[in-house]
Amino acid sequence: MDIEKILSQMTLEQKAALCQGADFWHLVGFPELEIPSVMVSDGPHGLRKQDDRADNLGVNDSIKAVCFPTAAGTAASFDRNLLYSLGEAIGQSAQAEKLAVVLGPAANIKRSPLCGRNFEYFSEDPYLSAQTAAAFIRGVQSQGVGTSLKHFAANNQETRRMSVSEEVRERALREIYLASFEGAVKEGRPWTVMCAYNKLYGIYCSENPWLLNELLRDEWGFDGITMTDWGACNDHVAGIAAGMDLEMPRSNDYDDQAVVRAVQDGTLPEEVLNQTVRRLLTLIDKAQSRAHQPDDFDWGVQHHVARKIAREAMVLLKNDGNLLPIRGNQKVAFIGGFAEKPRFQGGGSSHINCTEVLSALEAVRSVSPVTYAQGFEPDAVEADEEKLAEAVRAAKEADIAVLFLGLPESIESEGYDRRDMKLPEVQNRLVEEVLAVQKKVAVVLHNGAPVELPWADQVPAILEAYLGGQACGGAVVDLLFGAVSPCGKLAETFPLRYEDTPAFLDFPGTGDRVVYGEGIYVGYRWYDKRKMAVRFPFGHGLTYTTFEYSNLRLSVDNFVGVPVTASVDVTNTGDFPAKEIVQFYVRSDHDGVDRPVRELKGYGKIALAPGETGTVTVTLDRRAFAYWEERTHTWRVEPGRYQIEAAASSRDIRLSVPIDAVGEPLVIPVTGDTTVGDILTIPGAMDRFASILRPAKIEEDKSEAASEAVTAEMAAAMMRDMPLHAVRSFGSHLSPEEIDQLVADLNELQGL
């Protein structure tokens, strides 16, 4: 496609029309200009392509497709290769269905466990989220299909999501909420980025020039197109001016006419519109030039891929007394409706019309005979006493009872947030009744986000299956009976109760405004800083074996800006082949800027046979040590000592080694409001200005009462926190002119 030639032939009206969708799923095409109409579709964990009978709201049945595990589970795999293979499979499906772009992945941070769409998001940690999203993007796009990284940015709740303004401190925005997208953009290079519905600092994300142009394109180097979420356009002309390329879906002809008028009256420069059209034509050309019919596409094969991914995405939270795996000679009872009809995907725009669904009750038939009792209706508010009694009898007569519990779709879905973290009370009662007659109980959870588990201390084994896709029942049986060992680890913290969570007081805000009062302290950063007990920590997950860590070493002793490699040896010290996920955290070990206790900056996954030893190695770059400095609006490495920790979870630190970072001076313009303590951190300031900045001398012969009133420690503290303009009032006798000169000298000392 000769883009410049086509652009020169397009009328103003055609250019304007290209900036809106043709309908709910297609981009506008102009056959007379050899511009085809291409199609996009939902698809973070499987395609939701609608056929030609698609309704204007996009809620009718979609074509058949394979449903893979949702992001809440796939992130728990801590496996870039696995996410790449998931992306490959979805990319193959998209090519088979002649799609240009898959609308996903979603890289929003899990600020609160109540967010109704958390099942579609990866993690509370931005590094893990970015790495996982980037791997998925690379996998999809390896098949010649684009992705749309969403929802950019700070879309962390469903309540009033189309109007709420997110008020986030600059440091938290950079370190947490934007970092999740930044890594995905830079490493994954998605073809498109989808904006969020919400406002950021009072400006809709669909028309925020700082977000769409200055940050995304100029700073991060994004070269694809931006598109709105469906219905997220507030002002189409303002959006194009701010860097928003495509409004989806088509609203009406009025927006086209508004663009034409804006160009004609000079409100919107035509070159800005032309650049938008160039990007759109580039996307269309890329999709068309890479379109092909995959030779090896097969639903049955993809179903088996979905089962393999589901096994890696589930987390063994607890296994007291090695209750699992279930032995072949045990009499087993499956209890709970989710064993027969599993909850395996979320509600809303990503809901898949599955090719098939494999339940645990069906999958177990080829492995072991089991008895089954429904126990409860998933949406029931009150217990069915007959079903409950049947379940208790089945549990009592068995050697081990496996309870299949979880959240019904009515509680957890796109469009609204959960009201609490509780499981339905009928399920909690079932656990209590079963425990009264059977101590060997394993619980399998089907949910897209953390839930409160009041009975967790009494239940010996808990397997978090998340929303495991259409093959989840087979994956659960594989893990329960030991065909493979569980290996997933939590990509989010399970708190003891909702009241403990970081955003408890601020979520979901008041009216159309929500303040992120917890700042950078999201997820494990919050719980660790406050030394709070949790149910299960971030990064936690068990296997059917044990691992020993040894010989943690770094490539250098000092960090001077060059990437550092960290390596640790891992030995399988048990009797079961399994995979271990090693997490590498960086911890500040010096006084300085306020930091989280530790932050995930690398991870690796290794498969080991019993007795086998292997090595996991990661690379730690400058960003692994940096924080966002709000005063200079830059990333900064603070000089000092850090600890590099090799860990089995955020609260299971196995080994730690120190490293000294040379760091970078903090160059901040000095004013009369700058404190003495901040001035004395400037290299050379103490030597040149000590006599001026030293506090007034305390007389040696002062009375005992005076010594008690003004101690040396108090005087030093007062001087440290004193603004420069106030120094002349406490013994320095500096004139205003001398203060001004001192400010100039200090700035000159910093090279300003």
How far apart, in whole angstroms, are the C-alpha atoms of residue 106 and residue 36? 28
- Paired with 494 in beta bridges are 536
Parallel, antiparallel, or unpaired for β 64-65 and 146-152? unpaired
| Tokens 């998001």 -> residue | 121
654-660 contact pairs (CB < 8 A, 24+): 654/549, 654/568, 655/549, 655/550, 655/552, 655/568, 656/552, 656/587, 657/552, 657/553, 657/554, 657/566, 658/589, 659/554, 659/556, 659/557, 659/558, 659/559, 659/564, 660/557, 660/558, 660/559
C-beta of residue 257 within 8 angstroms of C-beta of residue 226:
no
How far apart, in whole angstroms, are the C-alpha atoms of residue 339 and residue 473? 7
701 is catalytic: no
Active-site choice (42, 79, 125, 229):
229
Residues 6+ apart with CB under 8 A from 70: 44, 45, 119, 120, 345, 346, 350, 448, 466, 467, 469
How far apart, in whole angstroms, are the C-alpha atoms of residue 525 and residue 587? 11
C-beta of residue 417 within 8 angstroms of C-beta of residue 158:
yes
What is the sign of the dihedral through the CA atoms of 111, 114, 117 and 119? positive
DSSP string, 83-127: HHHHHHHHHHHHHHTT-SEEE--B------TT-TTGGGB--SSHH
Q: In angstroms, how far apart are the furthest CA atoms of the chain?
A: 97
Residues 6+ apart with CB under 8 A from 431: 403, 405, 441, 443, 455, 459
C-beta of residue 693 within 8 angstroms of C-beta of residue 727:
yes
C-beta of residue 42 within 8 angstroms of C-beta of residue 60:
no
DSSP H or E stretch at residue 385: helix 385-397
Helix, strand, coil shares of the chain, percent, nearest 5, are: 35, 20, 45
| Tokens 């990503």 -> residue | 350
In eight-state DSSP terms, residue 320 is: G
Q: Name which of 24, 112, 92, 164 is nearest 521 in CA terms.
A: 112
Angle at 131 (CA atoms; ends 125, 136), nearest 5 degrees: 125
What phi and psi, each to the nearest 5 degrees, are found at residue 708?
Answer: -70, -30
Three-state secondary-structure class, residue 439: coil
Query: Which residue type occupies 305?
Result: V
Helical spans, DSSP H, in 656-699: 676-679, 685-693
C-beta of residue 318 within 8 angstroms of C-beta of residue 446:
no
Tokens read off for 280: 């759109």
What phi and psi, each to the nearest 5 degrees, are found at residue 474?
Answer: -65, -40
DSSP H or E stretch at residue 141: helix 126-141
Measured in residues, the chain has a length of 752
- Paired with 579 in beta bridges are 607
DSSP string, 250-271: ---HHHHHHHHHHHHTTSS-HH
Query: Known catalytic residues?
Result: 229
